[in-house]
Amino acid sequence: MKRIALMFLLLPFQVVPDDLNTNLTATQQELYQGIIQEVRCLVCQNQSIAESNAELAKDLREEIFQQVEQGRNEAQVKSYLQERYGDFVLYEPSFKQSTYFLWLSPILILILILGWLRKIGVF
């Protein structure tokens, strides 16, 4: 039992990326950290590139770092990645024709549930 508890205690330990550079301003640092957590590592698809130690993830972190350093904003960096790797690279897909259903389905389901509740006479 203790061992199992210990296993769970160890889980939250995060891999610290090796490239925590400091020549960014505080805002840029924050922007950089924010972006890399929202970009999927395509080699290891259930990790963000912030968490992954794959070579490609390192390269992409480096690329994003440089772009942030050059003063590009979040939208610019994300569209840079999207143009090359497609929607899948971002954890949060953009709102467009092929993703309408994805974004709007929760609202649709909510309406259906409300309709159903009304029908069975909850209100």
Partner 1 sequence: MKRLLPIAIFLGLFILLARSLFVPQMDLPSPLIGKQIPSFSLNELGKSSTVTHQDLLGDIALINIWATWCVGCEIEHDFLVELSLDQDLDIPIIGINWKDRDDLATRWLIQKGNPYSKILSDPIGNTAIDFGVYGAPETFLIDDQGIIHYKHIGPMDRQNFEQDILPRIVALRK
Contact footprint for partner 1 (CB under 8 A) = 42-43, 45, 55-56, 59-60, 63, 82-86, 88
d(CA 70, CA 61) in angstroms, rounded, equals 14
| Torsion angle (degrees, nearest 10) of CA 18, 22, 24, 29 | 60
Non-local CB neighbours of 93 within 8 Å, separated by 6+ positions: 87, 99, 102, 103
Nearer to partner 1, 15 or 112 (CB): 112
Nearer to partner 1, 14 or 46 (CB): 46
Nearer to partner 1, 66 or 73 (CB): 66
Smallest gap from Cβ 83 to partner 1, in A, equals 6
Smallest gap from Cβ 13 to partner 1, in A, equals 27
Nearer to partner 1, 2 or 119 (CB): 119
Smallest gap from Cβ 63 to partner 1, in A, equals 6
d(CA 57, CA 81) in angstroms, rounded, equals 12
Smallest gap from Cβ 39 to partner 1, in A, equals 12
* 21 in Cβ contact with 65 (< 8 Å): yes
* 117 in Cβ contact with 123 (< 8 Å): yes
